[in-house]
Amino acid sequence: MDSPEDLALEAFRSPSDAAAIARPSFAAYPFTLGVASGAPLPTGVVLWTRLAPEPLNGGGMDPNAVVVRWEVAENEGFARVVQRGSDDALPAWAHSVHVEVTGLEPGRGYFHRCIAGDEVSPTGRTRTAPASDATPQQLRFGLGSCQHFEHGYYAAHRHLTAEDLELMVFVGDYIYEGPGDPANVRRHSGGEARTLVQYRNRHAQYKTDPDLQRLHAAVPWLVTWDDHEVDNDYAGTRSGSLGPEFPLRRAAAYQAYFEDMPLREIARPTAARMVLRSRHNWGGSRASTCSTRASAARRRPARQRAGAVRTGSTTAAANCSRPGGRCSAPLRSAGSPMAWRRPGVPRL
């Protein structure tokens, strides 16, 4: 196992002054993890990708920053590009890109893609939120959690991709940190995730699933975490084993989570903490909200987790229809990474 020193997070060291490479060459296709979008607002959205020609080997990129160009268009053929620009994919952040696009029209769909050197990413679709004074009659969104890679295939994700959703809300356990079990349907690569590279590889293995990748490319996501993005039932800076190195492990997990999710800059973690907090109105000047909130400070006791579903892909489509467009996802803050309720399931 890597030493505690190997857990030190490279992203929190002084950044390199080296210029980003504008015309890189790759040994293999760099967009193996696809593209994604998230955190939609009425006039903007976050675009995400991560360059990883060797996704299960730390990404397989040279230790140089790379210029990634991006485009947002009104049509799939990109004949009507409405926004374009570039961003530097930094090695300290696993060559991930989080572009906060602005200047878009409320309540409409767009197509997006990224370009690095001569390589072009898959095309993604996204959608802005309605204007704050709009009155949409419904919100079609998907709700997912607990997608344990080893416990099954993501058929639910495949069906959601075909549902023409406006939003995907994922409320935790995007990855599971444990080692592979040969008795399961499919198997995690590597041992239990503890280091930054191991968490990066685990996120990459999940995103190489074609159904998960297509769902990311099909609709904007709102995301928050639960415990398995780090370690089962951890509490603050303490793991179940009470190991003294756990704060470094947690910081590594938080960094990998940010690197692999379509999150805004405000969510970028420091070495000590990461806080997810956002509020998303879906039309209606007094609309209720779809909000994802997380705090690194508190975790709920394990005894309060009775009834939590821990199966392969717990995902459902929902159609929220209320007068005046007052639609909300069933999420609420409870001072823990996520508290929410499903019919017939006790509060987590």
The CATH number assigned to the domain holding 85 equals: 3.60.21
pLDDT band for position 12 (50/70/90)? low
Nearest to 226 by CA among 264, 188, 253: 253
Residues 22-51: what's their mean pLDDT?
Answer: 96
Strands 167-170 and 139-145, sheet pairing: parallel
Using DSSP's 3-state secondary structure scheme, residue 213 falls into helix
Q: Look up the pTM and report it.
A: 0.82
Q: Is 348 a member of any domain?
A: no
Q: Is 347 a member of any domain?
A: no
pLDDT one-digit tens code per residue, 91-137: 999 999 999 999 999 999 999 999 999 999 999 999 999 999 999 98
pLDDT one-digit tens code per residue, 295-311: 333 333 333 332 222 22
Q: Is 145 a member of any domain?
A: yes
Q: Is 244 a member of any domain?
A: yes
pLDDT at 238 over 50: yes
Beta strands in 95-136 (DSSP E): 96-101, 109-116, 119-120, 124-127
Q: Is 345 a member of any domain?
A: no
Q: Is 108 a member of any domain?
A: yes
Report the pLDDT value the prediction gives residue 266, as an integer from 0 to 100. Answer: 94
Residues 61-65: what's their mean pLDDT?
Answer: 95
Q: How far apart are CA 149 and CA 260, in angstroms?
A: 16
pLDDT band for position 236 (50/70/90)? confident
Report the pLDDT value the prediction gives residue 262, as an integer from 0 to 100. Answer: 98
Q: Is 346 a member of any domain?
A: no
Report the pLDDT value the prediction gives residue 5, as an integer from 0 to 100. Answer: 40
- Per cent of the chain over pLDDT 70 is 76
pLDDT at 272 over 90: no
Q: Is 159 a member of any domain?
A: yes
Number of neighbours of residue 253 by Cβ within 10 angstroms = 28
R_g of the chain computed on alpha carbons = 19
Chain centre to alpha carbon of residue 299: 20
Residue 34 near residue 41 (C-beta atoms within 8 A): no
Report the pLDDT value the prediction gives residue 326, as an integer from 0 to 100. Answer: 37
Residue 297 near residue 238 (C-beta atoms within 8 A): no
Tally the domains of the chain: 1
pLDDT one-digit tens code per residue, 201-210: 999 999 999 9
Q: How far apart are CA 188 and CA 176, in angstroms?
A: 9
Domain of residue 190, residue span: 4-340
- Per cent of the chain over pLDDT 90 is 66
- Which neighbouring-strand residues pair with 101? 45
Nearest to 37 by CA among 175, 267, 218, 205: 218
| Mean pLDDT over the full length of the chain | 82
Residue 132 near residue 42 (C-beta atoms within 8 A): yes
DSSP state of 345: S
Report the pLDDT value the prediction gives residue 10, as an integer from 0 to 100. Answer: 55
Using DSSP's 3-state secondary structure scheme, residue 295 falls into coil
Report the pLDDT value the prediction gives residue 260, as an integer from 0 to 100. Answer: 98
pLDDT one-digit tens code per residue, 164-176: 899 999 999 999 9
